[in-house]
Amino acid sequence: MSSKAPGAVNAPAVDEPPELIRAIPLPHYGRWATVAVLVVLAAMAVHGLVTNENYHWDLVFPMLFTYEIGRAIGWTLILTVAAMTIGIILAVTLAVMRRSANPVMRAVATFYIWFFRGTPIYTQLIFWGLIGVLYPRLSLGIPFGPEFFSFRTYDVFTAGVSAILGLGLNEAAYLAEIVRSGLGSVDKGQEEAAQALGMRPRSILFRIVLPQAMRVIVPPTGNETISMLKTTSLVTAVPFTLELTKVATDYGSQTLLPIPFLVVAGIWYLVITSILMFFQSKLEAYYGRGDSTTPGRLSLRGRRRQRTSRQAAINAAHTTPAATAAEWTP
Amino acid sequence: MAMVEVHDVHKFYGDLHVLKGVSLHVERGQVCTILGPSGSGKSTLLRCVNVLEEIQSGSITVDGTLMGYAKDDHGRLHELRPRQLAAQRSRIGMVFQRFNLFPHMSALGNVMAAPVRVAGRPKEEAKEQAMELLERVGLADRAHHFPAQLSGGQQQRVAIARALAMEPDLMLFDEPTSALDPELVGEVLAVMQDLAASGMTMMVVTHEMGFAREVSDVAVFMDEGVIVESGSPAELFDNPQQDRTREFLQKVLSHTE
């Protein structure tokens, strides 16, 4: 250790490695205390679960894998996927309408979102169930003029169709706001550059803006999907009776043992949610939430890998903000 | 006929009067540099030429076409449809201060985008032309890189190639080197100089006094929304007639030289 003038350049040390710092780590007494408390609490909870006979664990495990429960899970998944599909397609349409220069389009979209977000989903589902009572026959034609064709409402709006439409149309209102915030997050310069090249609005939306907005849109949409999985339990309001919660409670009332069947349903919701969460975290990593991929700091192999990922290139270009996604929890 | 004819153009942002009666013309094949302090309206003027901004009074024609409006037989102006606007813009190339390359497309994809999407050219043909353009800006070996993998200077050169892909009659440059590290400015200016030498009509908003002096045919000095003075670069730089021009040049030149 020699004293040097400020700003003096060190002679390159050749052989001697630098002396490494060996500091004594901070003690974390608080952590150990917390662990001790949690272990006691967890033991109490487990003890309560195992020894309480009212849970009927002897019934729960065989019921987990019965055909009826399996079919109910299938219906729940169908409702979730179908409703989300309708929701996403409609949401993109609504979001584009809300950003339109056409005031009529904007008003229609705003009204739609106001209406479907402003009424409870449960009430909406009851209405979808009653649509055949409100309108026994539906027909297509000119108002006060000729009718082209008509049908009995309940022939088309079966319980399943009503449930999917009810969930999907409601979801679209929420997703539309997510899509809108995504479209709005893309750097304005992107649209201008496309305009300057002579691209038309439709091309600009689908080729330039939307691909970049996905980074903001996709993670919260994963969140909405998980939420939808459990919202499907409300379709008993239609009434649609084949999904998981309804099937489980029906068994419960038949056998006069509601609790083990609800536990069965709860376990399956947790399993599916866990799988969805796994994919959601993959999606979020892919779309670069909190992204740290700055080009130039990557290894050669990293660079080569990055070149193959279009999304990595979007993330690195910072044309959309990072981590806006986390704010979307309905 | 002049390539660009700007006649008594006024532009307002709300109450803010940004352009206060600007008139300017650029002949075919000329390079016109627009100088001035920030907030003088020079970028706005450029953006009005390809209708990224609407003007509230006056007229702009490019190669004889009235920009942004259609005039009927009675001399009334009609707004244009989006696709008509797009068609007008496709004949003018623009290069932005912050490049604005499409980050999800490779350099090649960026250059091919407009020929394929706007002009409807077959992909193979567009690719061949795009490679030629990338060659011209010295980046053929970077064709498959994404923008985020390129330096600022390389990105801006790709942006120039992209703008050239539609074979424009006019190129607009909006402070093309202002966002670049100093050591990268030269490569972009060199490409622009080549382009000028090839006979392209160019309007360039810039703070690069050396470029303005050597490459441009006309230099325009703007301040507070009006053209204070214009002329050949020799006249403007060596013998400015207006105090404001003189002050500006003194500040800028003492800083750079």
Length of chain B as a residue count: 257
pLDDT at A218 over 70: yes
Angle at A287 between CA A73 and CA B109, to 5 degrees: 125
Is the pLDDT higher at B146 or at A4? Answer: B146
pLDDT tens-place string over residues A55-92: 999 889 998 999 999 999 999 999 999 999 999 999 99
ipTM tops the 0.95 cut:
no
- B113/A199 touch (CB, cutoff 8 Å), yes or no: yes
Q: Are B67 and B45 in contact (CB under 8 A)?
A: no
Residues of A with CB under 8 A from a CB of B: 187, 189-190, 192-201, 203, 207-208, 211-212, 295, 303, 306-307, 310-311, 313-314, 316-317, 319
| Residue ranges covered by each domain of chain B | 92-167
Domains of chain A (ranges; CATH) run 55-288 (1.10.3720.10)
Length of chain A as a residue count: 330
pLDDT at A220 over 70: yes
Of A189, A195, A203, which has the smallest distance from its Cβ to B98's Cβ? A189
Q: What pLDDT does A149 receive?
A: 81
Lowest mean pLDDT among A16-20, A39-43, B24-28, B128-132: A16-20
Average pLDDT, chain A: 87
User: What average pLDDT does range B6-35 have in this prediction?
Assistant: 96
Proportion of chain B above pLDDT 90, given as a percent:
94
pLDDT at A228 over 50: yes
Enter the pTM of the model.
Answer: 0.83
pLDDT tens-place string over residues B97-123: 999 999 999 999 999 999 999 999 999
The C-alpha atoms of residue B41 and residue B128 are separated, in whole angstroms, by 39
pLDDT at A240 over 70: yes
User: What average pLDDT does range B27-56 have in this prediction?
Assistant: 95
pLDDT at A321 over 90: no
- B52/A196 touch (CB, cutoff 8 Å), yes or no: yes
For residue B26, the distance in angstroms to the closest alpha carbon of chain A comes to 20
Q: What pLDDT does A14 receive?
A: 66
Query: Nearest-CA residue of chain B relative to A204?
Result: B117
Q: Are B101 and B95 in contact (CB under 8 A)?
A: no
User: What average pLDDT does range A255-259 have in this prediction?
Assistant: 91
pLDDT tens-place string over residues A117-135: 999 999 999 999 998 888 8
With cut-offs at 50, 70 and 90, classify the pLDDT of residue A293: very low
